[in-house]
Structure 1
Amino acid sequence: MAGHTAGEPLECYSIPIVLEKEQDIDQQGNPVLEPDGKQRYRCGFRIGGGIDQDPSQSPQGYPDKGVYVTFIHDNSPASRCGLQLHDKILQVNGKDFTVVTHKQAVESIRKKPVLKMLVYRKGVPQLPKSSNQMGAHTQFQAYNQHVPQQQYNAQQPQYHQQY
């Protein structure tokens, strides 16, 4: 998946993730409101990238103009739903994230209280061709059995957004 060009067909196994946001509260426990007076919700992750970004400026060394998870807060909706550092976001609520600007990605993530995402994760093993006949649930189970769970030291580069 190294060096995917935006807009080109992409063949990979995607991981479905459903993230339910939680109410954002301040240090006193009061709800945080948007400028329009609506309750603000938080996901607990930051992103970097987009088709308008230069991947050579990425502190993480991402190979392309995809949208990547650059930080995950502990005990957040993102950490609880299984999102992982360096996941490449392919789709959110049906919107193709392989051809979005950074700003478009931010707006799509902020829009809904539930994010139904498809992500690509480096290290997903290549399954045999015959696995195409397996159901998606079986493929996801096979993935979970083969990918080691790792802890990453997250650095906070300047160019990513927090939600």
Structure 2
Amino acid sequence: MVDSNDQIYQIIELEKENQNGKLILGCSVGGGIDQDEYQNPFSKGDSGIFVSKIKRMSPADKAGLEVGDKIVEVNRKQLTKSTHEDALKMLTNNSESFIELKVMRNMVTDDPRLMMKRAAVEFKVARSSRLLE
């Protein structure tokens, strides 16, 4: 289990892409209170909604969403106690072209590929903030 000090919350805003009249985010999610939380590959025993796949160059990818992110809010509505189907309805609502996601992200992982990617992103952010001083 990851210590809460190793987690951050981030607000991600994105505009859905119109594909043949359907608005898409370009990602897949797994989880929900109706799923077996011990099958969750990102956080065993957690029945939250997690990003499981991201299509390259999709709105989700461009906005910075990452595989393993836990989506805790959609447009300021709690998602932590949702079924998988309810979460999908909130995420794929075709009447909303803009969406705001509050995600929880673990900053420590056993997967070195993810750790290297996240470390690179953190370094870029730190470097750009120094330029502003």
TM-score, scaled to structure 1:
0.60
Post-superposition shift, 1:57?
A: 2.5
Q: Structure 1 counterpart of 2:76, which letter?
A: G
Superposition RMSD on alpha carbons, in Å?
Answer: 2.3
CA contact (8 A) 2:8 2:106 kept: no
Superimposed CA distance per residue, residues 129-155 of structure 1 (whole angstroms, 9 cap, x where no aligned partner): xxxxxxxxxxxxxxxxxx5148xxxxx
Post-superposition shift, 1:62?
A: 2.7
TM-score, scaled to structure 2:
0.72
Post-superposition shift, 1:19?
A: 1.5
Identify which of 93, 96, 119 aligns with 1:148. Answer: 119
Post-superposition shift, 1:110?
A: 1.0
Using the aligned pairs only, state the percent identity.
Answer: 35
Counterparts in 2 of 1:73-152, with a 5 A limit?
73-111=55-93, 112-123=96-107, 147-149=118-120
Post-superposition shift, 1:94?
A: 1.4
Greater helix proportion = 2
* Gap runs ≥5 in structure 2: 109-117, 122-133
Q: Report how many residues are paired.
A: 107
CA contact (8 A) 2:36 2:47 kept: yes
Rounded Cα–Cα distance in structure 1 between residues aligned with 2:59 and 2:87: 18
Return the index of the structure with the highest Cα Rg: 1
Deviating above 3 A after TM superposition, structure 1's stretches of 4 or more consecutive aligned residues are none
